[in-house]
Amino acid sequence: MGILFTRMFSSLFGNREARILVLGLDNAGKTTILCNTPIGFRWGKWSRPSQVGAPLSLMLTIGFNVETVQYNNVKFQVWDLVIYVVDSSDTDRLVTAKDEFHAILEEEELKGAVVLVFANKQDLPGALDDAAITEALELHKIKSRQWAIFKTSAIKGEGLFEGLDWLSNTLKSGGG
């Protein structure tokens, strides 16, 4: 994730800002991903409005250019994008990850959001691949919303750019 990455990223998104919510169970790799991408972000807490105190350590949000971020909190009416991070090696909690994921998508303020799933921790032995995570999360049940899944290793910085590139193209083509 050097300067080249940042430049490529900036040219993809221009100066556009998007409201991104990065969610996932605790330990999924959210912080690591955000630290390894040139997305300017602010930390915040987000609970599903309809179920405050859900078992998620969710977070965050952002603009693509940190300089332009003016928000003092993360309470928005709507979100453009949701990045859902899954620890692909944490097979014991995939059902929980799936249940939370689908509950999140029911939220009114995420209704129009494009969804990007990161099947993270691909470097760990026993990590399930993107096809297996797609099945475990029942991604094919998603209706009338654009989504994609990418294999990532946040620690190695792998797969993150590909996912963000997809997001960029999706936004440009009018999704979200």
Residue range at the interface with ligand GTP (CB under 6 A); choices 19-27, 40-48, 69-77, 109-117: 19-27
Sole binder of ligand GTP in the list 121, 146, 171, 176 (CB under 6 A): 121
Considering the complex, what minimum distance in angstroms separates the CB of residue 175 from ligand GTP?
A: 25
Q: Is residue 123 a contact residue for ligand GTP (CB under 6 A)?
A: yes
Residue 170 assigned to a binding site: no
Tokens of 75: 């309470």
Q: Is residue 31 a contact residue for Mg ion (CB under 5 A)?
A: yes
Q: Is the dihedral of CA 160, 89, 109, 53 positive or negative?
A: negative
- Say if residues 10 and 68 touch (Cβ distance below 8 Å): no
- Closer by beta carbon to ligand GTP, 86 or else 167: 86
Partners of 119 in the β-ladder: 86, 151
Q: Is residue 159 a contact residue for ligand GTP (CB under 6 A)?
A: no
- Number of residues written out for the chain: 176
Binding-site string for ligand GTP from residue 32 to residue 61, where x marks contact by CB under 6 A and - marks none: x------------------------x----
- Half-sphere exposure in the Cβ direction for 57 (13 Å, CA): 9
Residue 68 assigned to a binding site: no
Q: Is residue 91 a contact residue for ligand GTP (CB under 6 A)?
A: no
Residue 97 assigned to a binding site: no
> What are the start-end ranges of the H helices in 107-142?
130-136
Instruction: Count the residues of the shown chain that bind ligand GTP, applying the rule CB under 6 A.
Output: 16
Q: Is the dihedral of CA 147, 89, 26, 31 positive or negative?
A: negative
Please choose, from the candidates 12, 25, 58, 64, the residue with its C-alpha nearest in 3D space to the C-alpha of residue 41: 64
Amino acid residing at 81: L
Binding site for ligand GTP (CB under 6 A): 24, 26-32, 57, 120-121, 123-124, 153-155
Annotated binding site: 24-31, 61, 120-123
Annotated binding site for GTP: 24-31, 120-123
